[in-house]
Structure 1
């Protein structure tokens, strides 16, 4: 299809087709060394070295930078890192204090809202050494983004992310209006600053901003950047540490053009920030995201105050589905810890290095974790076996309706030491967890349940958020031994679902125990594959069109259901398209059903890279199909995390049409 577009001017269809196929093959070969995509989990977390501040009495870890004497940085936090090119990384810190620092948290004199270091250290085993820090006078780290320092106006300007595109460096920052209770702060806006002189000076762009609202609830106030496929992906949360994670992306060249950003709405990319749907559910603070080339997984880390831990999630593509949370560092081991900013050069193997802050010493430390295969696989449930549930203030990410909790090391678990339970003599009692999903997508929920002998009305299933409509559930009765329950459901219009296991206690003292819960997405990667949920004749997310195309709604033309898609015209290329998330260097099979006009002789069915890039594979349909006929094509994703599906036709100077229904893409 792309080849025909190119050949309109030069007639080089055959030559260009071979050129694109060769490029696709080379891309696949060049990344063949990468590890298989599979869920990972952190293990063996250790503190390697101090990054900032002076070494206190009794501390034995290395302190290579001596920032207190070399740069008048005695107390600081964060430590956001990214590859700046030229064999160096930037390391970006928040509120910073010099001589006169109070010695307990962020306070004192010599206050700078932010400071910036450089490092070329490739051997992190003994710590991370700075090359230098950006300075305004010799021996004094410079504040690179100024702030008013006026409470309830602009108290400070804190960086939250950084990325380099070409030779220009970008910082995402937040303008803090005032501090609230611990873990709460309120922002005026977030914005992007840039530097063209290797970080010496920075300019806050006048219009690259996300204004907060009167209720302090804008979704894009704190961010993490990661580059992929020509885009910069921006993961974001509201201000403070009490919001879920949302996602936007922008072409690399459009970083400063707010109109070029597109927001993930659960199905596809939308121009409206208001449509953004969460990619993870929970409360996330000080987030970091990188792509690990060894495991072919995106890694996300952040602080979850409810679980009092730094946690990690992973996914095979930027949009997810993201795994459940996995404990990286516990607050009981490192009191007052926050921030888990990953080193960009520790993404090619199983060792994961990150910078962690601690509030009391108000300084930063280099940490190391080892990533290993996750025995729960691509599970969207956090703490599926309840093993990391500590006696914290909250049970998050699980929460209760009625009475229950966690059996800790009581010998009642199916596997491991812990399990969840509910128990009471009346009413509805359940364990629940909310999960981000893609709308109108199939999922499979599994879990193991054991009950008291008098249980006669237990339920295991999924529903809309906040006790919304039940999507599907299975009823269970007395189960003397742990029994696996399975529920298949479609998410419907929901971008968030609530999974639950519970019972009605209507027969005296009744209990159930729950363990080893899993939620996985169905195999078909095509959203709204039968077009049944399309609300109008004009395609909406996740479908989009090229040329003249649309949706037949309840017109009797569908293969199954009541809707189908169509493309029709007298000239040019006309097609239906959808972007889907894939794993790199992986084989997929695309199938669909097509019916055409009698004069049809030049249709295409296949997949290509985004933005009209190389075709990964396609089927050339040169005949007419008087009735729906199944089409199949196998393609390799190459070095891509997203590809574009297309089904369409060239209308050759006569009224030509094609009808499309029931598409699927599954991993081979």
Structure 2
């Protein structure tokens, strides 16, 4: 593809955390540390390099220079390893250029011992000792200069590649695509068909959110995490039933609270700057891991989450460009994920080849913090503040003895105007959050503020004012995200003379209720809309005077059959939850149910059966274990048998026990 230190727990703390995870089955957040090169994957060994090089691809497959190294389990005891633009004996030796050009090549591997490197069992070839271009491209600039793979997945015996058709290259880190699409193979990867309709077409402004992808199978779905072309976009999400991967109309897009038919409704699940995305489920941890290049931080970073939709943790440094110059991806090996280890394939622009890497995973006690770089500890240089961004005059105090904890802290200082540090973060709309941070200021400060607002300096959602703080003092702000899927958190001050503040140990955490639109107040029509859905005849009473609290409530009503209001909620596997809601019924009611089940009509996890009329709102409660599942369906409904019968529902909560 042509483009140009976290803290660590003591051994005792780590052992205690791992034991706690083993006995509770809870999914524990982790952070990577100690990344090392294990082996060279492609290319010839240059003078002075002493890494294992088991594949010798220059001699065995005419692969002298290549990149990416996307890995997925293909079944049959093998993985596929998929590479991008590839050059042969005429490779220029510096980046992606030269002769023997193929837009992509594909290897197979059955190697389960990654500690000594990643060995291929074969490569797809078009003739002896020559790796084949598996997805052809026109190779015409400003038309289709190349076709680059971005992800792969196998469903049954059919293999799929997600790829992008590149119209032209831009400046470093930027390129522009015609579309992204899916290709499939039914012969073990030897030949591939680009499906004519399974495509996400780019728009005139080159901003479609699904031009690059990561693919993950989970719970009968394939989850497609998408970014725009280039390396500077947010991460969006779609999903599709496993058997409908090539049906573009079967995809549903995460809208911040639920799954929408329209791609235009999609909202991000993680803030970029995201390039060369990889997502994998770590079964040993019970958590999803996401890696990508953040150009602004010149680092490969990792996020983790207990469910496919998140909430995703803040970014954690995986590998720094200062350690590995020119790095630009980290594709997770699905067989290399344990509770303590992460193996991934990384590219470096010079020498334009790929390497197997290993990182150690350690417990992250603050894993539910949604902010990246909360303590400013991995800032590579004082002028560099990403993922925090300055307004006015702001930056990082590096190891100058001013931090509350660790060695670094943020600062704001100037003699006029508004000056602040801010960070954007994905949130769930209409959800409660708590923002915390520690602040101290100069004695002359009179107008400091710590809070959250809508994106792009939008409306203030919640903030705390402070004057002089001679010692670090915790500031706490609670707010509701309102209609926003992204918010900005900030700490700053208004100055009229030389005034400063210092900021450290900032956190943003979601409230405990996992139900979206819990009181139905954000439902905009009489028909149930995402994240609520109707089974049979159900909808929303808007301002009709039937609500328990607020203006709105849900209802289900009929004379025959099953009628219900339902919502899919993301949960952590093997975890206890309590579901509560307030219900009242018509006098004719005699067969109602309130509970949780697996999605798409799956088995009931727990429910309460109410057979008597409830003339006033009555709170119902059920507890259940999520089992091996990452999502459950919450429902309140009734069976009607010949008589007009209804229920009304309000103020639903789902909390982790």
Establish whether TM, by shorter chain, passes 0.5: yes
Matched, 1:196 2:186: yes
- The answer to whether the aligner puts 1:537 opposite 2:541 as a matched pair is no
Q: Distance in 2 between matches of 1:377 and 1:132?
A: 40
Partner of 1:648: 637
Where does residue 486 of structure 2 map in the other structure? 496
Determine if the alignment matches structure 1 residue 166 to structure 2 residue 120.
no
Distance 2:618 2:235 in 1: 42
**Alignment partner, residue 128 of structure 2:** 138
**Deviation at residue 394 of structure 1 after TM alignment:** 4.5
User: Which structure 2 residues correspond to residues 21-420 of structure 1 after superposition, within 5 A?
Assistant: 35-391=25-381, 394-420=384-410
Alpha carbons of 1:345 and 1:35: their partners in 2 closer, same or farther (altered >3 Å)? farther
* Aligned 8 A contact 1:339 1:356 in 2: yes
CA distance in 2, matches of 1:609, 1:392: 50
How far has the Cα of 1:34 moved from its partner? 8.6
User: TM-score when scaled to structure 2?
Assistant: 0.96
What's the CA shift string for 1:422-473, capped at 9, x where partnerless? 0112211111000011100011111111111111111111110011000111
CA–CA distance in structure 2, aligned partners of residues 240 and 392 of structure 1:
27
**3-state SS of paired residue (2:330):** strand
The secondary structure found in structure 1 opposite 2:72 is strand
Secondary structure of the structure 2 residue equivalent to 1:593: strand
Match of 1:613 in 2: 602
- 2:66–2:354 contact (8 Å) kept in structure 1: yes
Aligned to 2:12: none
Scaled by the length of structure 1, the TM-score of the pair is 0.94
2:544 pairs, out of 546, 552, 555, with 555
Asked if 2 retains the 8 angstrom alpha-carbon contact of 1:307 and 1:392, the reply is: no
Rounded Cα–Cα distance in structure 2 between residues aligned with 1:607 and 1:234: 26
Structure 1: gaps spanning 5 or more residues: 1-30
Where 2:43 maps in the other structure, the secondary structure is: coil
1:591 is aligned to 580
Report the Cα distance in structure 2 between the residues aligned to 1:276 and 1:524, rounded to whole angstroms: 22
Conserved in 1, the CA contact under 8 Å of 2:565 and 2:635? yes
Q: Distance in 2 between matches of 1:225 and 1:634?
A: 33
2:433 pairs with 1:438: no
- Aligned twin of 1:636: 625
Kindly indicate whether the alpha-carbon contact (under 8 Å) linking 2:448 and 2:494 is maintained by their aligned counterparts in 1. yes
Change (3 A) 1:576 1:230: same
Structure 1 residues 35 and 110, CA gap change in structure 2 (3 angstroms): farther
Runs of 4+ in 1 over 4 A off after TM superposition: 31-35
Q: Does the 8 A contact of 1:34 with 1:293 survive in 2?
A: no
Shift of 1:349: 2.9
**Quick check: 1:455 aligned with 2:455?**
no
Once the two structures are superposed, residues 627-647 of structure 1 have per-residue CA deviations (whole angstroms, 9 ceiling, x without a partner) of: 000000001101110110000
Conserved in 2, the CA contact under 8 Å of 1:32 and 1:585? no
Give CA deviations for 1:287-316 in whole Å, capped at 9, x if unaligned. 100011111110000000000000000011
- Tell whether the 8 Å contact from 1:38 to 1:378 is kept in structure 2 after alignment: no
**Separation in 2 of the partners of 1:215 and 1:228?**
33
Cα distance, 1:393 vs. partner? 6.8
Residue 546 of structure 1 pairs with residue 535 of structure 2:
yes
Per-residue CA distance 1:242-295 (angstroms, 9 max, x = gap): 101000000000000000000001111011111110111121000100011111
Shift of 1:392: 7.6
**Distance across 2 between alignment mates of 1:590 and 1:476:** 39
Residue by residue over 1:60-92, the C-alpha shift from the partner in whole angstroms, topping out at 9 and shown as x without a partner, is: 010000000000000000000000000000000
Q: SS of 2:366's equivalent?
A: coil
Conserved? CA contact 1:93–1:114, under 8 Å: yes
Q: For the residues of structure 2 that align with 1:36 and 1:371, how far apart are their CA atoms?
A: 16
Unpaired stretches in structure 2, ≥5 consecutive residues: 1-20
Of 547, 551, 569, which residue of structure 1 is paired with 2:558?
569
Contact preservation (8 Å) 2:256, 2:429: yes
Equivalent of 1:578, from 560, 564, 567?
567
